[in-house]
Structure 1
Amino acid sequence: MEKLNPKKTMWLSLIPGLGQLKNGQKAKGIIFLGIFALFIIEMAVFGFNALVGLVTLGTVAGRDHSMFLMVRGTLQFLVTIIFLMFYIVNVRDARKTAEAINRGKDVPKTWKEMCDSLATDGFPYLLTFPAYILMIFTIILPVFVTLLMAFTNYDFNHIPPASLISWIGIQNFHDMFMLSSYRATFGAVFGWTVIWTLCASTLQIVIGIFTAVVAHQDFIKGKKIFGIIFLLPWAVPAFVTIMSFSNIFNDSAGAINIQVIPFLNHFLPVHIPQISWMTDPFWTKVALIMIQGWLGFPYIYVLVTGILQSISEDLYEAATIDGATPVQKFNHITLPAILAVAAPTFVTQYTFNFNNFSIIYLFNNGGPGDVGGGAGNSDILISWIYKLTTGTTPQYGLASAITLIISAIVIAVSLFVFKKSHAFDMD
């Protein structure tokens, strides 16, 4: 049998499909050549104009819609990237297949052999391919559009189709950090976002671990009843709970000020005054942290309960023989076992609360008062973004820039913690 020249086959595959045809793989060659032809036709009919529209974002106001052009152009850009990946795979496939044939290895050549190969070796790829296609439209496309929007002047003065959007580079990031008004607002909102994330997430994790450990002790009776009670905050829809707490913490008619505090004053030596939960920024933030602790601990409780049941009792018996105290048992046996399994999940609690929009919005709409730039005293970054895009003077470009900063922070912190906790090394 005549030996194939892998380099010649690779050069032939610069036109997708020709290299495969040279290797005798007629079915694969026809498919690859068909994909190439479809891409060329798509570029001629739609793709080239879509990419031009992405660059210009329109030339005539009232006729061209800059956002539509951006979305179409971004989609075409992704399609082009996918084709380039296919192109590289096509070239490598032609060379690798030629080398395999020269070594005497059988490769699928007919339609039947190719279908049989896909049904066996390629089945996982066929199964996951639709998910990847769906991910392009539901995740990657919106992320790319948001990324691009951060570098435009998309605001209340430039709303298509009445006005065109233009590329302005890093101006939105410059304004955020250099303009005194936005810089002060970003600093205040970001600072509270960090405090909120650390305090609220830590509180719910501590409560969840504490309740799980206590309920796991042998001397506790009625564990099933406690389990049901601890799960109640999780069973009730979060928005219902938040709205209820908004009424409970009402300054003038809420149960905390009208019933709970007067009741406590009957027994405490120190008089507790009524607290301005909804009108004082400090107490609003305290209330938000306490509410999130209540809402979030059931999930941690369930998680930790499962982990505790997997810890061998022999470890505790050996520790008892050695004279270990309950605190020492917790520090050296229980807590390490919990963190070894649940550390990545705990990280997700912090990242979730960093972007926990619902509780901030539903409890007090980010109030009371404001810190400038359209942000309230209890707004976190994600709720500030909402106000920037839904207010009377929307700032879509600036909101997109803040979104990118949030994403960068969350991704960086998550990757760092996952690496330190060896989450990626777990089997």
Structure 2
Amino acid sequence: MEIDQNKLKNVRKAGLYSLIPGLGQFYNKQPFKGVIFIAIFLLFVFQMAIAGIPALTGFITLGTTPRVDHSLFLLIKGSLQIIVILLFFVFYFLNIYDARRVATIWNVKGKANTTAKAILKNAWDSGFPYLLTIPAYLAMTFVIIFPVLVTLFTAFTNYDFYHIPPFKLIDWVGLKNFLNIFSLSSYRETFTSVFSWTIIWTLCATTGQIVLGILTAIVANQDFIKGRRLFRIIFLLPWAIPAFITIMSFSNIFNDSIGAINTQVIPAINHLLFTDIPAISWKTDPFWTKVALIIIQTWLGFPYIFVMVTGVLQSIPGDLYEAARIDGANFWQKFWRITLPMILFATAPVLITQYTFNFNNFSIIYLFNNGGPGSVGSGAGSTDILISWIYKLTTGTSPQYAMAAAITLMISFIVIGVSLIAFKKTNAFGNEEMM
């Protein structure tokens, strides 16, 4: 088909016109789209003139007059304005891309959609997935990214009990909070203690529930086990009961003086085995409190692994085991060469998320013994993990909001970094293409 030379468009010129949103669309003979783009541009300019510039000014200064300016509100308004500006830049570059793309279509096909009806029909036919996902992305921006952005900026301020707006203004302090974590002896020692216990807690509790979940699933899936359905129901009980109730119950069971462990279980063991095991200080000795927490989380977490692994075991072809049996493989060889690789192959992403979940598992630490017993400084108890320490930093009698925000960012970087490395090393999502 011969293209009319009069209908050819200059792609570069279309892009240059689009430096003012909408003009490139008018150049491409799409007045409907051009009006919409210009309207969005003018709306943004109006918003910047009326509210945007004052919001950015307040964000930079965080107020100048105590009791009149509220630094926290100015920080929040500024963060919101930054998101609006970023969204506009996304629109701005899409506007330039659209103008250049449509100009290219004119040059290739000799025509393009110019009427409002044709443009809307093409948007519905070609962009239906985007029309569905754009609202979700916008909601995610304001529901997830906005709070994260506020937390990020708070970490660079001196927002604490000495600077509570509007009576006191908040100031920008740069990296001071992050440096204080490692330079001030009180914070350094507390952070080292809490962080090391968080790592130990995460590895022990998560590994325990994974090992127990896989073990129970394999045992319950053996053909020689009678009443397998009953066992599966029993193994699901810890998952069926709300964790809040279970944790509070275990808190009473492990009570030093009247708990069932010390008053019934240990005496029964001593009677049966003729031993003399003393009562254990489950809630007053930091070591035994940590042991109790790991035991409880193993109990709470293994049913989920059990259910997931049970599904994987039932999907493994029986021919693999039959071939292994013919080759003379014993039970352990079948387990190490067939069962375990298939389990890890299918569940690697979920197993990794179990570690990240327990890294921030606030409820069990708080409900069992409120992070106690004792204290390791800066408001943290001997069994507090990072997330529960952050809670105490923000709700104590001397709140340290900026420091809590800084530690929160460090937690986020640690969790995201370790998760990405683990996903890459295990090829967790690449496995999906191979299944």
TM-score by length of 1: 0.99
Equivalent runs, 1:8-407 vs 2, <5 Å: 8-104=13-109, 106-407=111-412
CA distance in 2 between counterparts of 1:348 and 1:106 reads 51
CA distance in 2 between counterparts of 1:423 and 1:25 reads 46
CA distance in 2 between counterparts of 1:76 and 1:363 reads 42
CA-to-aligned-CA distance 1:282-311 (integer Å, 9 cap, x gap): 000000000000000000000000000110
SS in 2 for 1:187: helix
CA distance in 2 between counterparts of 1:415 and 1:326 reads 34
Corresponding residue for residue 428 of structure 2: 423
CA distance in 2 between counterparts of 1:255 and 1:308 reads 37
Q: Which amino acid in structure 2 is aligned with residue 236 of structure 1?
A: I
Quote how far apart the aligned CAs of 1:398 are. Answer: 0.4
Question: Is the 8 Å Cα contact of residues 214 and 309 (structure 2) preserved in structure 1?
Answer: yes
Quote how far apart the aligned CAs of 1:105 are. Answer: 5.4
CA-to-aligned-CA distance 1:169-205 (integer Å, 9 cap, x gap): 0000111001011000000000000000000000000
Quote how far apart the aligned CAs of 1:364 are. Answer: 0.1
Quote how far apart the aligned CAs of 1:375 are. Answer: 0.3
Structure 2 unmatched ranges of 5 or more: none
State, as a whole percentage, how many aligned pairs show the same letter: 63
Quote how far apart the aligned CAs of 1:269 are. Answer: 3.8
CA-to-aligned-CA distance 1:265-291 (integer Å, 9 cap, x gap): 111143211000000000000000000
CA distance in 2 between counterparts of 1:138 and 1:89 reads 24
SS in 2 for 1:267: helix
TM-score by length of 2: 0.97
Question: Is the 8 Å Cα contact of residues 158 and 170 (structure 2) preserved in structure 1?
Answer: yes
CA-to-aligned-CA distance 1:189-222 (integer Å, 9 cap, x gap): 0000000000000000000000000000000111
SS in 2 for 1:423: coil
Q: Which amino acid in structure 2 is aligned with residue 64 of structure 1?
A: D
Q: Which amino acid in structure 2 is aligned with residue 350 of structure 1?
A: Y
Once the two structures are overlaid, the 10-residue window that deviates more, 99-108 or 226-235, is: 99-108
Q: Which amino acid in structure 2 is aligned with residue 218 of structure 1?
A: D
CA distance in 1 between counterparts of 2:428 and 2:37 reads 40
CA distance in 2 between counterparts of 1:247 and 1:118 reads 61
Structure 1 unmatched ranges of 5 or more: none
Instruction: Report the aligned-residue RMSD.
Output: 0.8
Question: In structure 1, which of residues 408, 411, 422 is the aligned counterpart of residue 413 of structure 2?
Answer: 408
SS in 1 for 2:376: strand
CA-to-aligned-CA distance 1:3-45 (integer Å, 9 cap, x gap): 2111111111110000001101111111111110100001011
Q: Which amino acid in structure 2 is aligned with residue 160 of structure 1?
A: P
CA distance in 1 between counterparts of 2:281 and 2:10 reads 82
Question: Is the 8 Å Cα contact of residues 251 and 368 (structure 2) preserved in structure 1?
Answer: yes
Quote how far apart the aligned CAs of 1:424 are. Answer: 2.9
CA distance in 1 between counterparts of 2:260 and 2:111 reads 78
CA-to-aligned-CA distance 1:90-145 (integer Å, 9 cap, x gap): 11211121111011154322111111112211111111111111111110000000
Q: Which runs of 4+ in 1 moved over 3 A?
A: none
Question: Is the 8 Å Cα contact of residues 349 and 429 (structure 2) preserved in structure 1?
Answer: no
Residues 1:409 and 1:105: Cα distance change in structure 2 (over 3 Å)? farther
SS in 1 for 2:109: coil
Q: Which amino acid in structure 2 is aligned with residue 81 of structure 1?
A: L
Residues 1:124 and 1:106: Cα distance change in structure 2 (over 3 Å)? farther
CA distance in 2 between counterparts of 1:245 and 1:375 reads 22
CA-to-aligned-CA distance 1:310-365 (integer Å, 9 cap, x gap): 10111111111111111111000000000001011000000000000000000000
